[in-house]
Amino acid sequence: MMNLSAKHVLGVAIFLLVIFVGVPLFIAATGRWDFYFTLTSVALLAIASAGVWLTFYIGRINIGQGAFALVGAYVSAILVVKAGWSFWLSLPAAGLFAALVAALLGLPILRLRGVYFAMITLVFTQVATLTALALPITNGAKGITNIPLPSGVSLFGITLIPDFGEIENARMAFYFTACILMVITYATLYRLVNSRLGHLCRSMQQNEELASSIGVNITYIRILIFSISSFFGGIGGAMFGSISQSVYPATFVVKDSVDFMLNCFLGGLGYVFGPMLGTLVIYFGWDLLFEFGKYQLLIYSIILIVVIRFLPDGLLSIRFSKGGKK
């Protein structure tokens, strides 16, 4: 069973109040409506990064999450624009398709370890980009544009989700949707880590041979975890395509895949919520360094190296003791 202390419950409550009440009040007071788009992007990137963290949890380095985000974005766009699906139906479909692709790719390569697996995943994003350029259904370099905003959902005459096209501020609606998805993602991740499956994953991370010797089906778990990881990437990509109302082969590139991995390193590989913090810091940190012009990338790289060197367990290790990990 998963036990949550009063401190954890209070922390979660404060976090939810900040993102669902504090942020909207702040934006309304300052009139900076563009923050909704910025914070929505952070939430979606944090969802994709959560998947990368999960593959780290079984001892694999995943540098290909951008590929599954791109797959999710295209699947959702194709279903909505060309098949007439509701966005809300295309969203889980995009995640499931990305998970299916991951399972098929994972069968032969998840046996590889360390740098070999990482290097193969590194090419996934480029392969996905080239595939999107080549297939007629993806419109090649033109991409898919004019993706309609999510339509409303009603049940027995009761509006459950309003039509985003009829809302005065659709950015706010996307922000709340992305935050809800992010909360669900990390709640699922936390529950998984503290389940029997999570304990088996931890044993595989420490010693796969020992885990196999006690009856753990490591092949099944590898594929399952990699599929869940890619599901998160597909969901994040689908939402990003919807808020942008377009998707192109270059919507997610190799740099994005590397950034997803860095988000996990920076926040802390030993902490479930590490990717979320890492995404927030890297996203806003990069923007703050914009004033340094041509030295932006140099300073950014030096800061990352220093943080990883002196805080190998990530930024969250400053706050939590070893016993507070999870």
- Tell me the per-residue pLDDT of 304-323, one tens digit each, with 9 for 90 and over: 888 888 888 888 888 654 44
CA distance 258 to 145: 26
Which whole number is the average pLDDT over 207-234?
A: 88
Which whole number is the average pLDDT over 39-48?
A: 96
At 226 the pLDDT is 96
Indicate the domain borders of the chain. Answer: 36-253
Q: Quick check: 213 pLDDT over 50? A: yes
Within 8 A by CB and 6+ apart from 280, the residues are 42, 46
CA distance 46 to 92: 18
Contact 237, 248 (CB under 8 A): no
State the DSSP H helix or E strand holding residue 159, giving kind and residue range, or none if neither: strand 158-161
At 102 the pLDDT is 96
Banded pLDDT at 28 (limits 50, 70, 90): very high
Whole-prediction pTM: 0.92
Q: Quick check: 1 pLDDT over 60? A: no
Which whole number is the average pLDDT over 145-167?
A: 88
Give CA 157 to chain center in angstroms.
34
Q: Quick check: 36 pLDDT over 90? A: yes
Which whole number is the average pLDDT over 115-127?
A: 91
Banded pLDDT at 326 (limits 50, 70, 90): low
Q: Six-digit token pair at 62?
A: 């995943």
Express each pLDDT in 224-240 by its tens digit.
999 999 999 999 999 99
Give CA 188 to chain center in angstroms.
13
More confident residue, 39 or 312: 39
Q: How far is CA 167 from CA 33, 87, 159, in A?
A: 14, 16, 13
Summarize the chain as % helix, strand, coil (round to 5): 75, 5, 20
At 20 the pLDDT is 94
Contact 52, 65 (CB under 8 A): yes
Q: Is residue 66 exposed (0-12), middle (13-18) or buried (19+ Cβ within 10 Å)?
A: buried
The two beta strands, 246-247 and 144-145, are antiparallel
Express each pLDDT in 240-266 by its tens digit.
999 999 999 999 999 999 999 999 999
Express each pLDDT in 262-302 by its tens digit.
999 999 998 999 999 999 999 998 888 887 888 888 888 89
Which whole number is the average pLDDT over 158-164?
A: 86
